[in-house]
Amino acid sequence: KAGVTQTPRYLIKTRGQQVTLSCSPISGHRSVSWYQQTPGQGLQFLFEYFSETQRNKGNFPGRFSGRQFSNSRSEMNVSTLELGDSALYLCASSLNRGPAETQYFGPGTRLLVL
Amino acid sequence: GIQVEQSPPDLILQEGANSTLRCNFSDSVNNLQWFHQNPWGQLINLFYIPSGTKQNGRLSATTVATERYSLLYISSSQTTDSGVYFCAVAPFSGGYNKLIFGAGTRLAVHP
């Protein structure tokens, strides 16, 4: 079974632009969570989607948004990019939504904002 | 919110040595996972272990939920074990499918 895939793998943008990242979960997985990894803040939870609805949100500004489609694929969008948004963005999928779900991570998208 | 502390922050080993990585957490959890992040950034699942002991080859893990800590053991380390090891938890009160990560242990194994 194929793992979690993320596109694009690398991205360079300039301040003020917006960006859309894509995540395809493992086949049959219905929950997708997004994380941001930076050297200063480490790995931080962004949000989680299940059944096309955002179910959980981390402490990030409204410039960060996402959505999930009926096939469970998810996108996240960052508008009005800032230098501090440079990071590795990781997507994780789980079979379902619950207290004991194992999360499986994709390879990530490295975003550089100039 | 819950605090997750990993120790040591850095570890340097000779190939063949054994090591123990520790993860302390400040509240009850219903999910605890150990990950290895390779040099390309991919987080690789090692163990799902909210309690008890598991083994997978040269790796094993133990979580004592009542005392709020987990240990990851690496035996006969190899250069391919190098990378960053993360402990991540989902607290009872934190909502589902939301992992809180520790800062990681950076392991370097030299030949």
Average pLDDT over residues A34-61: 95
Which helix (H) or strand (E) segment holds residue B71: the answer is: strand B69-74
What residues of A are in contact with residue B89 (Cβ under 8 Å)?
Answer: none
pLDDT reading at B1 higher than 80? yes
Strand partners, B80: none
Encode pLDDT of B12-54 as tens digits: 999 999 999 999 999 988 899 999 999 889 999 999 999 999 9
Strands A87-94 and A109-113: antiparallel
What is the per-residue pLDDT for A101?
A: 87
pLDDT digits (tens, 9 = 90+) for A61-92: 999 999 999 999 999 999 999 999 999 999 99
pLDDT at B79 exceeding the cut of 70: yes
Mean predicted lDDT score pLDDT of chain B: 94
| Residue A100 confidence (pLDDT) above 90 | no
B88 forms beta bridges with B33, B101
Supply the pLDDT for residue A55. Answer: 92
The minimum CA-CA distance between B38 and chain A, rounded to whole Å, is: 10
Mean pLDDT, rounded, for B58-66: 97
Residue B30: predicted pLDDT? 86
What are the φ/ψ torsions at residue B15 (nearest 5 degrees)?
Answer: -55, 135
Task: Tell me what the mean pLDDT of segment A17-21 comes to.
Answer: 98
Summarize the confidence of residues B59-86 as an average pLDDT.
97
- What is the interface size between A and B, counted as CB pairs within 8 Å? 73
Confirm or reject contact between B92 and chain A (CB < 8 A).
Answer: yes
**pLDDT tier for residue B94 given thresholds of 50, 70 and 90:** low
Which chain A residues in 15-34 lie under 8 Å from chain B, judged by CB atoms? Answer: 31, 33
Predicted confidence (pLDDT) at residue A59 exceeds the cutoff of 80:
yes
Cβ-proximal residues to A50 (8 Å cutoff; 6+ apart), any chain: A30, A31, A32, A68, A96, A97, B97
Cβ contact, residue pair A100, B30, below 8 Å: yes
Averaged pLDDT score across all residues of chain A: 95
| Residue B50 C-alpha, separation from nearest chain A C-alpha, in angstroms | 8
Cβ of B100 under 8 Å from any chain A Cβ? Answer: yes
- Residue B7 phi, psi dihedral angles, 5° rounding: -145, 150
Contact B99 A45 (CB under 8 A): yes
Strands (E), A1-114: 5-7, 10-13, 19-24, 31-38, 42-50, 53-57, 64-68, 74-78, 87-94, 104-105, 109-113
pLDDT at B17: 98
Chain A residues whose beta carbon lies within 8 Å of the beta carbon of residue B98: 33, 45, 48, 56, 58
Q: Angle CA(A70)–CA(A100)–CA(B82) in degrees, nearest 5?
A: 95
Q: How far is A61 from chain B (nearest CA, A)?
A: 18
Give the pLDDT confidence score for residue B12 in this predicted structure: 97
Pairing of strands B29-37, B83-91: antiparallel
